[in-house]
Amino acid sequence: MRVWFLSAALALMCMAQNATAGTILIVGDSISAAFGLDTRLGWVSLLEQRLVQQGYDDKVVNASVSGDTSAGGLARLPALLAAHKPEVVILELGGNDGLRGQQPAQLKQNLASMIEASQKAGAKVLLLGMQLPPNYGARYTRAFAEVYSQLGSEKNVALVPFLLEGVGGHPELMQADGVHPAVGAQGKLLDNVWPALKPLL
């Protein structure tokens, strides 16, 4: 009888875990698309592995596109939300906006619209911040970085202030182009994301 109760309890625990399993949608650019790498070695694939290791059943949908901007992500988002009905949306966009010198105000507007659309669809949002090299000028780089902190506060969403913390500025962790993280940096990217993501699961 005791064995039966234990088996039943385990079955109920598994059912409860499966019932809470959901989809994590990642809308990003080349950093999340693992540009220049075997995608199986990118931080998103490492996230899938960590979820399994820690007993989560959540499915990861990586809708990242190399070269994408916040405007591109905004245009793609409605179809992605409709198709995948995610419980969590991770937004990793803005780097290409900055590299093209686009206005931080436009970046903020685009990301705000993506946050609002995700929340309206019932998803929790995690915003991954980006920073630019100092050669873009102090005023521009400051305004760019502030977009993420402002949105985190104004929209009450989880925030990683700088996805490349501990990676940017370290040549040994970057690919030859000096822009994209190398294989050795992918675990660090995941470690930067995980503490903010885990409470949302």
Question: Which domains, and CATH codes, for the chain?
Answer: 22-200 (3.40.50.1110)
Evaluate if residue 186 carries a pLDDT over 60. yes
Place of tokens 């989880």: 158
- Examine the residue annotation and report whether 64 is marked as an active-site residue of this protein: no
178 CB-near residues (< 8 Å, 6+ apart): 171
CA nearest 26: which of 134, 118, 137?
A: 118
Catalytic-labelled residue, pool 29, 32, 84, 180 = 180
Backbone phi, psi, residue 116, to 5°: -65, -40
pLDDT at 169: 87
- Three-state DSSP class for 24? strand
CA distances from 7 to 20, 128, 151 (A): 20, 41, 47
Catalytic-labelled residue, pool 29, 30, 58, 70 = 30
- Count the Cβ atoms, other than its own, within 10 Å of residue 182: 17
Place of tokens 């992500």: 73
Residues 92-146 pLDDT 10s: 999 999 999 999 999 999 999 999 999 999 999 999 999 998 888 999 999 999 9
pLDDT at 137: 93
Evaluate if residue 11 carries a pLDDT over 80. no
Contact indicator for 106, 67 with CB cutoff of 8 Å = no
Calculate mean pLDDT across residues 146-173: 96
- Examine the residue annotation and report whether 180 is marked as an active-site residue of this protein: yes
d(CA 81, CA 83): 6
- Examine the residue annotation and report whether 57 is marked as an active-site residue of this protein: no
Catalytic-labelled residue, pool 29, 170, 177, 191 = 177
